[in-house]
Amino acid sequence: MKARNIENGLALVGAIVVLIGVSFAADNALAEENANITSTAPAIHGAAENTLNSAEKANAETAAAAAASLALESWIELDIQLEDRTSTLIARGK
């Protein structure tokens, strides 16, 4: 369940990064006074490609951090199970 939530979060972050990058590229390309189709299209394509590369790198870094966190959590749970550590809750009546 946690892995699914992490995947959904990474997908959302990646989509937002791509959307922001493409919007930024479009704004820059269209801000030129003498913008024409031959200069605007490559600018948008280049910015989109750069944004996708950045998003891929960010997703890889985030996935690595998430994997490390899950590994640590799993290691702790496995350690508890192997050492047969348990906790006992004591109910106190009034």
Q: CA-based diameter of the chain, in Å?
A: 82
Confidence of residue 49 (pLDDT cuts 50, 70, 90): confident
Determine the structural domain holding residue 18 and report its residue range.
2-82
Pair of tokens at residue 1: 């369940």
90 is a domain residue: no
Residues 6+ away with beta carbon under 8 Å from 14: 55, 58, 59
Domain count, the chain: 1
Would the pTM count as exceeding 0.75? no
Confidence of residue 19 (pLDDT cuts 50, 70, 90): confident
88 is a domain residue: no
Average pLDDT on 59-76 reads 83
53 is a domain residue: yes
